[in-house]
Amino acid sequence: MDRAYKEVQQITLAVDCIIFGFNNNQLEVLLIHRGFEPEKERWSLMGGFVGNREDLDAAAHRILHDLSGLEDVYMEQVRTFGKADRDPYERVVSTTYSALILKERYKAELIAQYRARWFSIDDLPNLIFDHKQMIVSALNRLRRRVRTVPIVFNLLPKKFTLPQLQKLYEGILGEELDKRNFRKKLNTMDFLVKLDEKDMSGSRKGAYYYQFDEKKYDRDTNFNI
């Protein structure tokens, strides 16, 4: 590799993924259990190193794919953690990415392989390094973003019900919402399409399925919860 800035020190660059999922009406993150040293028996985010010729975003997608089997996942960069001593074993600067996935799509066999587990965001285990802070900053970002950008639909199946959607918002925001006000607001958004079909699993009455119509959204990108 030829180098233009020859005298400059180089640094190990990592990506850590905060993988959010919605399960049991709760917002959860997927963590992996370290069965190896260093920091054996503790939990960590899914992470990996950035290749020298690899786009940073591409590294995030590669790492998520290797560890989850998922492609085409919605991801956003959150921020970069660069304290010199954040990893006590070596200087590593890490850029975090937040990923929104559908739990059902996550390959179960990988859970076993990586000793992964879903944790509710308000019941996190002991995490290595600054991974707790990383989750907190990703969650804060998510809380801001879901109010103005329709990204929550990445956490739901194509067809979902309004009670589901409300529970999801409540899980993300960490507060209860008024059912009537919530539905009133969503009703003004034309890109939320009501289907003729009902989900009968959650109640006797059944709840109508809805779908997010991306094309309709692109025509009128107003979104505000």
Residues that bind DNA (CB under 7 A): 161-163, 178-181, 183-185, 198, 200, 202-208, 224
In the complex with DNA, the residue whose CB is nearer, 38 or 206, is: 206
Beta bridge partners, 192, equal: 212
198 binds its own copies (CB under 8 A): no
As measured in angstroms, the least distance from the Cβ of 163 to its own copies is 32
Per-residue string for binding with its own copies, 49-68, x by CB under 8 A? xxxxxxxxxxx---------
Q: Are 20 and 155 in contact (CB under 8 A)?
A: yes
In the complex with its own copies, the residue whose CB is nearer, 84 or 112, is: 84
Q: Are 175 and 195 in contact (CB under 8 A)?
A: no
Q: Are 73 and 100 in contact (CB under 8 A)?
A: yes
In the complex with its own copies, the residue whose CB is nearer, 98 or 161, is: 98
What are the DSSP calls for 63-118, one per residue? HHHHHH---S-EEEEEEEE--TTSSTTS-EEEEEEEEE--GGGS-HHHHHHTTEEE
In the complex with DNA, the residue whose CB is nearer, 50 or 152, is: 152
| Residue from the set 25, 41, 89, 125 that interacts with its own copies by CB under 8 A | 89
